Structure 1
Amino acid sequence: MTELLDDRPYHHGNLRAALLEAAEASLAEHGADGISLRDLAREIGVSHGAPRRHFPDRQALLDALAISGFVRLDEQIRQAIDAVAADFPSRLHAVARAYTRFATENAALLELMYSSKHRPGAEGIVEASEAAFRMVFDLLKQGQDEGALGGEDPTETCMVLFATLQGIATMTNAGFVPGEQLEALTDTAVTQFLRGARP
C-alpha cells in the first residue's frame, strides 16, 4: 500500500482548494477529529507528503478551513444586503435569513469556525470573522441612527440577535424545527426583535 501511495503525483492542479473541499466534506461526515492530512491526500490522489506544501500540519488545515468559512459567510451576508432595499428592516431580515441558512447548511463548519476563533494564536481566524460581524454591527448601528432600535451599545444588541439566530439554527439542525420552516421562523424572530428593540 505504501508503494502505491508513493507512486501518486506530488502536484495537483489546485491542491490547496482540493484539500479544503475534501476536508470540509470529511468535517461534515466525521467531525474535526476525523480529519487526517494523509487520508485527504489519498482521497484526492496525491502523495501523502503533498498536502504539507500548503498545510504544515493538521491544525493549519483546520485553521484555513475556518478562515474560508468566515470568508464565505461574509460573502453571503454581503450578497443578502446588496439584494434588498436600503431600509434597515429589509436588510436585517435579509441578513438573518442568510445567517440561519448558512448555519444550517454548514453546521459542522460553523462549529469549527467558532471553536477555532477562540484558540490561542488564531489571529487569522479572528481577523476573518470580523468582516462578517462588522457588517452586522454597522447595520444595527444604522438601525439605532434611524431610530428603529434603542440602546446605547450596538455590540450588546448584536449579541442578542446572533444568540436568537443561532438558537433557531441549532434547533433546526437538531430536528426540532423542520427545515422548510426555517425562513418563516427567522422572519418572525426578526420581526419580534425589531418590535422589542424599539426605543
Structure 2
Amino acid sequence: MRAALLQAAESALALGDSEGLSLRELSRSLGVSYTAPRRHFANKQALLDALALEGFERLGATLNRAVSDRTEEFDLRMTKLARTYVRWAMKHSALLRLMVAAKHKSDAPPALIEASNRALSAGPLTIVDGQSTGAVVQGDPLRLALAVFAAAEGLIAICTNGECDGVPIDRLVVEIVQQIIVGIRPRI
C-alpha cells in the first residue's frame, strides 16, 4: 500500500502541483478507504517528504550507475553524468521540483537532507577520480561538480521540450560539459 500511495502521488504530482494533492483523492484513486493512507503517512506532508526522499534515492542510483565504470576516461564519465541528470530531471520534472522544495524547507527531515547529499555525490566523486588522474585541477570537488550541475539546471531552465533554438538538449549538454572540462583542466 505504501508503494502504491507513493506511485499514485507521483502520478498526481505530474498532473498538477503538490497543493492540489490530497490523501483522500489518492485513496479514492486506489480504491481504498480514505483512512488507509494514515497507516503509512501521518499526513500529506509526510507523504510528500517520503516521495521526495524516494526521488533522491532513485536519482542517486541512476547517477551512480551512469558513472560506475571507473576505468572510463574522466571526460566521458562527466558527460555521462550530466546527460543522465538532464534526462532524469526532464522525465521527472514535477518530482524534482518537489524534491528541491522539500530539502530547502526549514523543517526538512534529516533523512531527506542526507538522501539529497547522497543523490548528487556522484558528481564530486567523479571530480575526485579526475583529480587523482591529473585530468582535473585540485580544489574542492563539491564546488567543481557544482559547475556541471548548475550548467545542467540552466539548460533545463532555458530549453523547451528538450530543445533550445532547435538544438537538442542532449547535444547541448555535451558541448557545455566539454567547455566546463576545459575550464577545470590543470594549467601548466
Task: Tell whether the 8 Å contact from 2:28 to 2:34 is kept in structure 1 after alignment.
Answer: yes
Count residues with an aligned counterpart. 185
Question: 1:46-73 CA distances to partner (integer Å, 9 max, x unpaired)?
Answer: 0000000101100000001101111110
Equivalent position amino acid for 1:108 in 2: A
Quickly say closer, same or farther: Cα 1:123–1:179, change in 2 above 3 A. farther
1:134-145 equivalences under 5 Å are: 134-145=121-132
Quickly say closer, same or farther: Cα 1:54–1:180, change in 2 above 3 A. farther
Equivalent position amino acid for 1:150 in 2: V
Is 1:22 aligned to residue 8 of structure 2?
yes
The two structures have a TM-score, normalised by structure 1, of 0.86
Question: Offset at 1:101?
Answer: 0.3
Q: Which moved more, 1:113-122 or 1:34-43?
A: 113-122
Q: Which runs of 5+ in 2 are unaligned?
A: none
Quickly say closer, same or farther: Cα 1:49–1:124, change in 2 above 3 A. same
The two structures have a TM-score, normalised by structure 2, of 0.91
**Matches of 1:70 and 1:40 in 2, distance apart?**
22
**Matches of 1:83 and 1:184 in 2, distance apart?**
22
Return the match for 1:168 from 150, 155, 163: 155
Is 1:107 aligned to residue 93 of structure 2?
yes
Quickly say closer, same or farther: Cα 1:130–1:59, change in 2 above 3 A. same
Identity %: 39
Larger Rg belongs to: 1
1:58 is matched with 44
2:30 is matched with 44
Is 1:154 aligned to residue 141 of structure 2?
yes
Alignment RMSD (CA, Å): 1.9
